C-alpha cells in the first residue's frame, strides 16, 4: 500500500498529515508553551457547545471510557441513583461502570434498533423520585442509533434530575448547544469527530453543580473536580499529560474551525454516509437501521447470508485493499459496521465500496443473499 489504511471505524479515525506532524515535537508538561496549548484547546472545546457561560471543561488522560467513569464518580453522590437509558452496548458499559463505582444503578431497556423514548423516561421519573441522574448515550454506535438528546434533556430539566451525556461519537459533528440543552455533564474524546488521535477525554460540567462535586470521587487520578481546581490554579495537568495527543488535538481543532466547524463537519459526514449507503445498496447490502434513526456516524449492515461469508476473512481481505472495517456489536443478527467519520470524504467512501465489492468477488460471493 502506498498510503495508510483508512479506518472506517468509530475511533480511532483516519487523521490528516498535519495532525500527524504535530506530534513530531516533544513538549515539557510544565512549560509555558504547553500550558498555552492546553488553555487554547479548552477554550475551543467550550466554544463548540457554546458553553462558555454555563459550563467548564476538564480534560483527562486516557480513552473516552476513562472520562465516562470519571464523570459518574465525580458527579453522582455516593447515595445517588443513576438511571441508564439502554439501547445498546455502550449503554450497558455505562451501567456497568456506574455499578462498579458503587452507585445505585437502574436501567430502562429499549430495542437496539430504536431510539430511547423520552415519554417513557418521564413516566419513570414521575414514578421514582429516588433517581438523581440519567445517563444517555447520544449516538449509540453499537448499532448507530441517534438518541433524542434535546427531548431527554427537556424531561430531565422538567423533573430537576441530573443528565450525564456520553457524546463520544457525536461531539463536534452533531449539534450540541449548551444554551438550549441542559446537561450536568457531557463527555467526549480526542480521537473521534474532532479527528485528533486517541488518548485524551474531556468532560463538560455545568457550573451550577461543579462546587457540589468536591470530594465525591473515590479515585485520585480520575477526580474531575480536583483536576479542574488544579488546572485553573496552575494551568497544568495534575499528572503527566498526553502531550503529543494534546498538541495533535490542538492542530485538529485548527483544521476543524477552518473547515467551518460543526455544521461543515456534519455536512461532510452526511455526504460520506449517503455515498456509503448508496454504494453498498448497489452491492445488495441492507442497513440494519431505519434511516430515520440512523446517525451519519457509523452504519451497521446485515452480513451476507452466504456459506462463504466469514467476518474475519471479509475483514482481512478488505484490509488488503486498504480499508479497516468494524465487527458488529449486536446480539440479534450477524452484522458488520462501517464508519463514516474521520479525515475522509466521499471519494474514500466510494473507494471503500469498491474494496468491499472486490472482497466479495475474492470470497466467491456474487451477491449478498441477505435473507431479511
Cα torsion 330, 112, 89, 45 to 10°: value is 130
Give which of 239, 203, 209, 245 is closest to 70, Cα–Cα: 203
Cell of 267: 455536512
Task: Give me the architecture of the 17-258 domain, per CATH.
Answer: 3-Layer(aba) Sandwich (3.40)
Instruction: Please enumerate in sequence order all residues whose Cβ is within 8 A of that of 263, keeping only pairs 6 or more positions apart, or say none.
Output: 175
Q: What is the pTM of this model?
A: 0.96
Condensed to tens digits (0 to 9), the pLDDT of residues 213-232 reads: 999 999 999 999 999 999 99
User: Which of the four pLDDT bands, split at 50, 70 and 90, describes residue 320?
Assistant: very high
Cβ(97)–Cβ(91) below 8 Å: no
Condensed to tens digits (0 to 9), the pLDDT of residues 241-283 reads: 999 999 999 999 999 999 999 999 999 999 999 999 999 999 9
Give dist(CA 173, CA 139) in Å, integer: 11
Cell of 142: 453499537
Give dist(CA 271, CA 19) in Å, integer: 23
- On the question of pLDDT at 88 being above 90, the answer is yes
Domain boundaries, the chain: 6-10+261-363, 17-258
Same fold yes or no, 6-10+261-363 and 17-258: no
pLDDT at 333: 84
pLDDT at 369: 57
Sign, Cα dihedral of 130, 133, 138, 141: negative
pLDDT at 372: 42
- On the question of pLDDT at 1 being above 50, the answer is no
Which residue is listed with cell 473536580?
225
Averaged over 188-206, what is the pLDDT? 98
CATH of 6-10+261-363, one of 3.30.460.80, 3.40.718.10, 3.90.1150.10, 3.10.105.10: 3.90.1150.10
Give dist(CA 120, CA 308) in Å, integer: 43
Amino acid at each position: 500500500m502506498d498510503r495508510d489504511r483508512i479506518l472506517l471505524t468509530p475511533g480511532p479515525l483516519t487523521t490528516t498529515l498535519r495532525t500527524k506532524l504535530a506530534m513530531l515535537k516533544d513538549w515539557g508538561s510544565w512549560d509555558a508553551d504547553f500550558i498555552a496549548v492546553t488553555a487554547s484547546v479548552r477554550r475551543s472545546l467550550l466554544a463548540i457547545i457554546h458553553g462558555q457561560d454555563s459550563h467548564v471543561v476538564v480534560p483527562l488522560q486516557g480513552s473516552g471510557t476513562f472520562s465516562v467513569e470519571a464523570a459518574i464518580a465525580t458527579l453522582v453522590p455516593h447515595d445517588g441513583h443513576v438511571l441508564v437509558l439502554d439501547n445498546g452496548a455502550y449503554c450497558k458499559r455505562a451501567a456497568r461502570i456506574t455499578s462498579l463505582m458503587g452507585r445505585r444503578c437502574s436501567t430502562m431497556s429499549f430495542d437496539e434498533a430504536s431510539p430511547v423514548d423520552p415519554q417513557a423516561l418521564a413516566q419513570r421519573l414521575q414514578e421514582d423520585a429516588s433517581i438523581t441522574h440519567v445517563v444517555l448515550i447520544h449516538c449509540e454506535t453499537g448499532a448507530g442509533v441517534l438518541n433524542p438528546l434535546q427531548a431527554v434533556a427537556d424531561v430531565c430539566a422538567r423533573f430537576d434530575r441530573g443528565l450525564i451525556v456520553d457524546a463520544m461519537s457525536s461531539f463536534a459533528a452533531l449539534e450540541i448547544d449548551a444554551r438550549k440543552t441542559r446537561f450536568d455533564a457531557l463527555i467526549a474524546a480526542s480521537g473521534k469527530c474532532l479527528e485528533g488521535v486517541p488518548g485524551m477525554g474531556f468532560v463538560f460540567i455545568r457550573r451550577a453543580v461543579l462546587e457540589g462535586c468536591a470530594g465525591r470521587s473515590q479515585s485520585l487520578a480520575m477526580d474531575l473536580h480536583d483536576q479542574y481546581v488544579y488546572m485553573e490554579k496552575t494551568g497544568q495537568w495534575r499528572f503527566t499529560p498526553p502531550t503529543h495527543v494534546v498538541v495533535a488535538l490542538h492542530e485538529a481543532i485548527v483544521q476543524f474551525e477552518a473547515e467551518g466547524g460543526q455544521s461543515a463537519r456534519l455536512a461532510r459526514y452526511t455526504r460520506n454516509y449517503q455515498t456509503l449507503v448508496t454504494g453498498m445498496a448497489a452491492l445488495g447490502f441492507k442497513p440494519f437501521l431505519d434511516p430515520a434513526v440512523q446517525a451519519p456516524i457509523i452504519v451497521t449492515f446485515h452480513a451476507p447470508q452466504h456459506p462463504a461469508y466469514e467476518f474475519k476473512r471479509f475483514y482481512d481481505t478488505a484490509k488488503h485493499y486498504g480499508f479497516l472495517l468494524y465487527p458488529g456489536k449486536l446480539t440479534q443478527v450477524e452484522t458488520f459496521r462501517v464508519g463514516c467519520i474521520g479525515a475522509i470524504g466521499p471519494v474514500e467512501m466510494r473507494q471503500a465500496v469498491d474494496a468491499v465489492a472486490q472482497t466479495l468477488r475474492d470470497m466467491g460471493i456474487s451477491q449478498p443473499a441477505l435473507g431479511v
